[in-house]
Structure 1
Amino acid sequence: MFIAYTVVAALLAFALSASAFLTVTRHPQIAATMVKLSVPDSWMPWLATAKAAGAIGLLAGLAVPLLGEAAAIGVVLFFAGAAVVHLRAKDRDVAPVVLLGLLAAAALVLRIASN
């Protein structure tokens, strides 16, 4: 199970890192989505920080199991909140959010199972 966690955590950490970078640099597509979802511009650094912290925590979870579990829980909650924001804005483009949330849930299950 540890190898599976490693693969899933690495993939998710890569996706979170890329998303954090695009968020902090205010990539036009990300900025447009945030406007469409009525997310204040002042939240962008906080969202990028949360994504980066999740990526670091997942990778640190390779050495410290509890940290990996906590990070996975945080990422699951982050994407659950993102799904709610998308649905409240009547934005049906939630597939990436749901996919990443499920990947985070898989990371959590695998991290717990590999203890």
Structure 2
Amino acid sequence: MFIAYVVVAVLFALMLVGSGRGKLVREKRVTETITGLGVPLSWFLPLALLEIAAAVGLLIGIAYRPLGIAAGIGAFLYFVGAVITHLRAKDTKGSVAPGVLVLVSVAPIVLGFLSL
């Protein structure tokens, strides 16, 4: 299970960093989507930092699994919040991507526990 955790943690961390980067540099598509949901621009930096922190936690979790599990839980909660934000804005189509990421974020949590 350790190798599976490493693979999932690295891939998910790369995805989180990419998503955080999109918010940091305010890519047009990301900015339009998120501001269209009613999220103010002032939240972009904190949201990006949360994603990057989760990515770092997942990678450190390779050596210290409890941190990786905690980072996975944080990412899970982050994407649950994203789904809720989409649903509150009545954007059911837009809730699919964060919904998938909610499911993906469960993998490092489960694999982290299984590889303790």
Give the TM-score, by structure 2 length. Answer: 0.96
Partner of 2:112: 111
Q: Which runs of 5+ in 1 are unaligned?
A: none
Measure how far apart 1:111 and its partner are.
0.3
The aligned residue for residue 7 of structure 2 is 7
1:84 match: 84
Partner Cα separation in structure 2 for residue 103 and residue 17 of structure 1: 15
Alpha-carbon offset, residue 34 of structure 1? 1.3
Question: Distance between the aligned counterparts of 2:2 and 2:96, measured in 1?
Answer: 27
Q: Can you list the C-alpha shifts for 1:47-79, whole angstroms capped at 9, x where unaligned?
A: 000000000000110001110011011000000
| Structure 1 counterpart of 2:73 | 73
Q: How far apart, in 1, do the equivalents of 2:65 and 2:5 lie? A: 11
Q: Which amino acid aligns with 2:87?
A: L
Partner of 1:21: helix, strand, or coil? helix
**Equivalence map 1:41-60=2 (5 Å):** 41-60=41-60
C-alpha separation in 1, matches of 2:18 and 2:64: 23
Percent identical residues: 43
Cα displacement string for residues 8-61 of structure 1 (whole angstroms, at most 9, x for unaligned residues): 111110100001111100000010011210001100000000000000000110
Following TM superposition, where does structure 1 have runs of at least 4 consecutive aligned residues deviating by more than 4 angstroms? none
Q: Give the counterpart letter for 2:53 in structure 1.
A: A
Deviations 1:92-113, CA, capped at 9 Å, x for gaps: 1222211111111111000001
Gaps of 5+ in 2: none
- Partner SS for 2:78: helix
CA contact (8 A) 1:12 1:100 kept: no
Q: How many residues align?
A: 115
Residue in 1 aligned with 2:35? 35
Letter in 1 for 2:109: L
